[in-house]
Amino acid sequence: MDKSVGRVAGGFTLVELLIVIAIIGTLVGLLLPAVQSVREAARRSSCQNNLRQVGIGFHNYESARGFYPTTVSVSGGPTHFWVAQILPYLDANPLATIYDYAVPFSHILNTAAVRYPLSFMSCPSTPGGPLPDPKFPVSPPHWGSIAADYAGSQGVGNTIWTSHVSYPKPGNDDGFFTGKITELGGKGLRMKSVTDGTSKSVGIVESAGRPQVWYFGRMVPGSGLAVTGSKYVVNSGWPTANSFKVGGFKLDLSKSDPAQQYGSGPQMINGSNSYSIYAFHPGGANLLFVDGSTRFCEDSTAADVVAAALTIAGAEATQIP
């Protein structure tokens, strides 16, 4: 007689299958945050590498010229800004041969160049980036450019000095991008002018997500579009001046209109990307110092400390750790 008759084939019962699925779901739930954390750490590191590339461009330019790049707007000549000026000083950068320095940055002959996304000017954590700036140039007709996630510091906004910093405004609070060349043979900022120290003075800040308007992790709905009434951060394309005096913000959810929910306040990191420091890294933003080093600045950093770092000749005692 066949002894196999009457035996039941081995397998999972429904209860066992449900238990296995539950265990797998739990493991996925535990692993997913860790995977996301690792991915963001990689993106943050890549962002810092972008800023180091910018720093290399600045220092190669300074070594060749004896001064740092700035706005060049000589009467009768073409106007160009800092990103375009460092292009020839970066290794293997084909865009330097495409961008036409004989005409202004906003000339139609530079259309192909300004629409080219510069990898070293785009933070990988920015949603949907690199983003277009369809209102470039500011004066119509517009033909668009690619926006930048990094901007030059012109120092500190007056509201910060008057309302949110505990010490008096220094006699000289100029930022790294204060001033411009307006005559033939003129020179930009020299290293000796950074009297606070190149390792303590910020040159470039993250200001990501432009031309969309972001504040405290939220985006103003419909912002950054080339339509009438759209909230917009102008001067965000990489070929533009792309520099500003840094402001601070506070969140006010009592306002029903999202475009009114970020008023002037003390938070200078991740308050808003509207002429301030803003990133999509949890807890802070990357900064490039004049010596070429990068540092991650927490969004809880006091305005006293951030303002001190944004000056180049303020002689303040505080500094970003």
pLDDT tens column, 189-229: 999 999 999 999 999 999 999 999 999 999 999 999 988 88
Q: Tell me what pLDDT residue 31 has.
A: 64
Q: Over the range 83-104, which residues count as b (16 or more CB within 10 Å of their CB) and which as e?
A: bbbbbbbbeebebeeebeeeeb
Residue 52 has pLDDT above 90, yes or no: yes
Which residues are within 8 A (CB) of 188 and not within 5 positions of it... i.e. 6 or more apart?
A: 65, 67, 68, 69, 70, 179, 180, 181
User: Quick check: 149 and 207 in contact, CB under 8 A?
Assistant: yes
Residue 234 or 2, more confident: 234
3 state SS of 81? coil
CB 245 within 8 A of CB 216: no
Closest to 85 measured CA to CA, from 118, 61, 106: 61
Alpha-helical regions (H) of the chain = 14-65, 82-86, 95-98, 111-114, 158-163, 303-310
pLDDT value for 12: 66
Instruction: Give the residue-averaged pLDDT of 234-262.
Output: 96
Closest CA to 306 of 209, 164, 194, 168: 164
The torsion of the CA quartet 80, 86, 89, 95, rounded to 10 degrees, works out to -70
Single-letter residue type at 247:
G
- How do residues 150-202 score in pLDDT, each as one tens digit? 999 999 999 999 999 999 998 877 899 988 898 888 999 999 999 999 999 99
Bridge partners of residue 278, in order along the sequence: 207
Return the beta strands (E) in the chain as ranges. 71-72, 132-133, 145-146, 150-156, 180-181, 202-206, 214-215, 218-219, 243-246, 249-251, 262-264, 284-289, 294-298
Q: Parallel, antiparallel, or unpaired: how do β-strands 294-298 and 284-289 relate?
A: antiparallel
pLDDT greater than 60 at residue 1:
no
Query: Rounded to whole angstroms, how far apart are CA atoms 71 and 205?
Result: 17
Q: What percent of the chain has pLDDT over 70?
A: 93
